[in-house]
Amino acid sequence: MEYKPTREFAEEMDQVDPLRQYRNDFYFPKHSNGKEAIYLCGNSLGLQPKSAKSHILAVLDDWRDLGVKGHFEGDNPFATYHEDLGAKMAKIVGAQKDEVVAMNSLTVNLHFMMVSFYNPTDTRFKVIIEKNAFPSDQYAVKSQIEFHGFDPEEALLEIEPRDGEDLIRTEDILDLISNKGQEIALIMIGGLNYYTGQAFEIEKITKAGHDMGCLVGFDLAHGAGNLELNLHDWGVDFAVWCTYKYMNSGPGGIAGCFVHERHLKRKDLKRFAGWWGHDKATRFLMDDTFVPIPSAEGWQMSNETVLSMAALKASLEIFDEVGMKALIKKSRLLTAYLEYLIESLDTNRIQIVSPKNATSRGAQLSIRVLKSDKSLFKIISEKGVIADWREPDVIRIAPAPLYNNFSDVFNFVQILKEALGV
């Protein structure tokens, strides 16, 4: 597509956008002048769907009217509320229905998955992770290594960009797997790096890991609802993600978890057991022998907070209606337009560190502010832009395709241009 750096072009693109009406399904924060803020922070916290309130109130009404009977009566019984969420998320991450479950929070799920999929031995005990992975992943992996009696200094293999580069090369990941594969028990990296916005080649990494006998999992906190994913076909062993970013479930919203079907009926897998993961047919017989549900639900510990799931349900209904194919198409157009406008600026103070290849990134561009402090970010924030600053020098801009439009992108770059004085 041939982009143009004009407001008229952005408005024309908005008029022909087949997803334009979905913007009206979300609430936008207000700037101090009373106008809608330019919200470009869906990679940190997605906007509230307008239908979230009615979904939450429906749960409150059932609790009020039905009490304990609400677990099995009403339009959306509490005991099975999570099942529809898992089925809808499965479409988003390219999985089968039984492979996905809504439960817990992301890091809790990562720990539960590592109980099952990190089984170190004296000779195969190492874990591959990004050196600049999100800190909670580093904490979780290091603590699991220590729990098993190993030293993270020896067991953790951290991949990082080459000197002078910002992005990790796929060939470097594959070379590490090839060279150290006999020592690696688990590969656990992010599907998309939170800082640079780089989307990793999940299929290639998974195959390389499996060829060397490694198990492979991914943190999709910034990937689920943002990238085109095919977890089942790619053969990923497990994946975890939060839903409050691109899936708009609200602050601290319930998370999601994927376990490949080949593992669902394995009786040799270790796991922490809980009542809600027990066979549904016999759950209320209160037997003291755990029989796991032969799906991802078998990793559940307790019944989840239905009020939290209600907010996610509101957003997933929109995802289900739109479909990931249409979302990805708009996302690539929108992010490419942002890239085009930024690169058109006559300045040497900023540079885009995210990948140029559309298939190697999602709805995020990370902008490095050269030889500067946080002052530029403060200026654009005061002018109504809600984005995200990451130390030491990066502004993350995320135009979410469900509710952002081309005018948002154009207006942001105009504010950025003014702040830069160009």
Domain ranges for the chain: 7-36+323-420, 56-320
Tokens linked to 77:
């019984």
Residues 6+ apart with CB under 8 A from 115: 270, 271, 272
- Domain 7-36+323-420 matches domain 56-320 at the CATH topology level: no
The pLDDT value given to residue 23: 98
Q: Are 195 and 222 in contact (CB under 8 A)?
A: no
pLDDT per position in the chain (422 positions), as tens? 899 999 999 999 999 999 999 999 999 999 988 899 999 999 999 999 999 999 999 999 999 999 999 999 999 999 999 999 999 999 999 999 999 999 999 999 999 999 999 999 999 999 999 998 999 999 999 999 999 999 999 999 999 999 999 999 999 999 999 999 999 999 999 999 999 999 999 999 999 999 999 999 999 999 999 999 999 999 999 999 999 999 999 999 999 999 999 999 998 999 999 999 999 999 999 999 999 999 999 999 999 999 999 999 999 999 999 999 999 999 999 999 999 999 999 999 999 999 999 999 999 999 999 977 899 999 999 999 999 999 999 999 999 999 999 999 999 999 999 999 98
- Strands 350-352, 365-369: pairing is antiparallel
Q: Are 142 and 152 in contact (CB under 8 A)?
A: yes
Give the CATH number of domain 56-320. Answer: 3.40.640.10
The pLDDT value given to residue 144: 98
Number of H helices, E strands in the chain: 13, 13
Superfamily of domain 7-36+323-420: Aspartate Aminotransferase, domain 1 (3.90.1150.10)
Beta bridge partners of 366: 396
Beta strands in 137-228 (DSSP E): 156-159, 184-190, 215-219
Beta bridge partners of 241: 256
- For residue 257, give the 3-state DSSP assignment: strand
> How would you classify residue 308: left for phi > 0, otherwise alpha for psi between -120 and 50, otherwise beta?
alpha
The pLDDT value given to residue 27: 98
| CA–CA gap between residue 226 and residue 5 (Å, rounded) | 26
The pLDDT value given to residue 371: 77
H or E, element range at 390: strand 388-390
